[in-house]
Structure 1
Amino acid sequence: MTNASRLAIALLATLAVAACSKSEPEAAAGAEEHAAAGHSSAGLPSGRIAAGEELAKAKGKATGQSCIDCHGSEGNAPIDDPSPKLGGQYADYIPHALQQYRAGDRQHPLMTPQAATLGDQDIADLAAYFGSRQGQLRDLHGVE
């Protein structure tokens, strides 16, 4: 083994020990700061429930529809089978879906134009609102 290899292994071991040596309160505080900063897998700011509720009720310029027109006031009464229930939805489902509609990577006659005008804060707010509602989601894992 070369000296460079030994040095690399020693350096990695030192970094691993340092990372694992954080006390639980320090690690928990770091996780809380991360959550408070609004970090999500969608890369959005923290959502505001009240702002999301107002936005969910507002008629979109592109379609003349609001979120609640199609998904229900609590997000649990979609107007048709293909429309998902949004109430109590997983934290990053709505942000990722809306970002995909906004980018044109996901297509729907109403959702694509509706999402096209949403900013990152709008998406975070809608996700916070619908995520805070009582959910009626079911885990279908193992259902035949």
Structure 2
Amino acid sequence: MAVEQNKKTQGLTVGCLERVHHIALNVKNMTASRHFYGEVLGLHELTGDEVPSTLKDLVAQGKVANFITPDGLILDLFWEPDLFPPHTDPKQQFTRANHLAFHIDAELFDQAVNVLKNNQIMIDHGPVSRPTGRGIYFYDPDGFMVEIRCDPQ
């Protein structure tokens, strides 16, 4: 699709942006974050030739880790050892980003909740049931809110 401008708003037309390519998060403890996203949530960490050439040096230095979600979204973790949120309570949001949500099959939702509890992940709230489905909200090692959600059965 050609990039066109919407003459009314001087913006891109609907459909020009195809999908979210990646989300980049700053993390204080790379080891804890790699464990959380890789082992607890089960995302595939890119290694070797899977790492984009532009990030190979940073990955080799331990400053960046890359994960891929089942639908192809890349999650980049940037090591910021001096990162401190303005508030120690993760319920006090400190960025413009609210949360990162992962979709899961409804039949696997309860299993995901058990994984979070078994790994002693700090739960903010949930599981909750809504007309749009079920969800549970929890925090990564740096206090960023993450959600696992499913469609209604």
Tell whether the structures are fold-level matches, with TM greater than 0.5. no
TM-score, length-scaled by structure 1: 0.22
TM-score, length-scaled by structure 2: 0.21
Specify which structure has the bigger relative contact order, considering alpha-carbon pairs within 8 angstroms and separated by 6 or more residues.
1
Q: Relative to total residues, which structure has the larger helix share, 1 or 2?
A: 1
Q: Relative to total residues, which structure has the larger strand share, 1 or 2?
A: 2
Higher-Rg member (1/2): 1
